[in-house]
Amino acid sequence: MGEKIRDYIQSEWVRRRAYLTSARDEIRQENLDVACNACLLTVFILIGCLLISPLLIRGWAPSPPHLLFAPVMLALLVVIRLYRTKSSTRSLATFLSVLVGATIISFGIAIDTMTNPMAPTVFTPLMIVALSALFIMPSMLNCAISGALSIAYAACALAFKDPYVAQFDTLSAIAALVFSVCVTHIVMQYRLVLFEAKTHFQELSMRDDLSKVFNKRALLSLTRDYFENAEGHAPCTLIFIDIDDLKSINDVHGHMVGDSALRIVSEILRSNFRSTDIVGRFGGDEFIVFIPGPVSEAALKSKMGRIQAELTAKSQEKLGLSTTISAGAVITQQGLPEVTELIKMADAALYQSKHGGKNRITIHLLDFEAASK
């Protein structure tokens, strides 16, 4: 039993860490949006309460916390909007979100505990529970904030309210903390399920159904991202690979065997290149491998030789025929080439391999910085 609980806690920690890390930018933006909406909504609710309370409660008059609440929230709204406009990193998003939540609840505590020692609590417990569901942040941080605010609420109730009323407010503070912890867990689980489903479908949309490598759209998008993120210096290698005589294989042995040949090639490419390299099916019997960073001609020839040998052995073992590939590669050590131009150059190198007897690789070394001068 203890081991199962430990495994569950560990798996949950891994899931949440992956979510908070992978979706960091999206979470920051969402937290800022929620903070802005919370400020606006609080002001509207407060104005409504100020208008309605005198009609419902005889002799009611706004206290200083009531009057200060709206201006403070509007000031926070202006700060967040300015920050969202000026900052591109959103690194202070969590701090601003916590500040908004703590400010709202602090005013709620002041209104509930300091204005009338005999009045029952109205806002604070609900605010503490709602805060745990509003913002996306680590569960421990969320629970720590809820705990600190619940303690502050109970302390203020004991200090400023009638002892008989304060005991019920203390119980409300404990209940609010317990419910906020539960809500934090439930909401985080819901967000994890959504995130994992979204990630799964994004992954499916980027993969070729047959070969399980990146499809053409994802291949080009990821490759372009590399050049866009590079600052004037983008060493890389692009390899254009074509399965030799795949049409003949389909005609003689059937399309099922041809599909198996495609799968074998894709498996070998994925296993022989790094996880940071981009392996994709460009279309039909053509694959592209994009290698970020510097690569030597000798190392590339050696790797492609091993791939050729492994493909010959595996296709003979699984299909009963010898399958080979031809490849054309472009290596650039500096400069910032266009993806489409790089593909055209690798395709030209592949053409040389095809007309040079197939089952070989042709490598072109390029210096784009020199070529641009």
Between 88 and 287, name the one with better pLDDT. 287
**Mean of the per-residue pLDDT values for the chain?**
90
Q: In the structure, what pLDDT confidence band is assigned to residue 373 with cuts at 50, 70 and 90?
A: very low
Q: How far apart (Å, rounded) are the C-alpha atoms in residues 30 and 135? A: 8
Which of these, 42, 113, 116, lies nearest to 73 by C-alpha position? 42
Domains and CATH numbers, the chain: 2-205 (no CATH), 216-371 (3.30.70.270)
> Does residue 85 have a pLDDT over 70?
yes
> SS3 sequence, 106-174?
HHHHHHHHHCCCCCCCCCHHHHHHHHHHHCCCCHHHHHHHHHHHHHHHHHHHHHHCCHHHHHHHHHHHH
Helices (H) and strands (E) in the chain, counts: 13, 5
pLDDT tens digit sequence for 168-215: 999 999 999 999 999 999 999 999 999 999 988 888 889 998 999 999
**Model-level pTM?**
0.71
Check residue 372 and give its pLDDT.
Answer: 41
Per cent of the chain over pLDDT 70 is: 97
At 371 the pLDDT is 42
Give the residue-averaged pLDDT of 18-39: 92
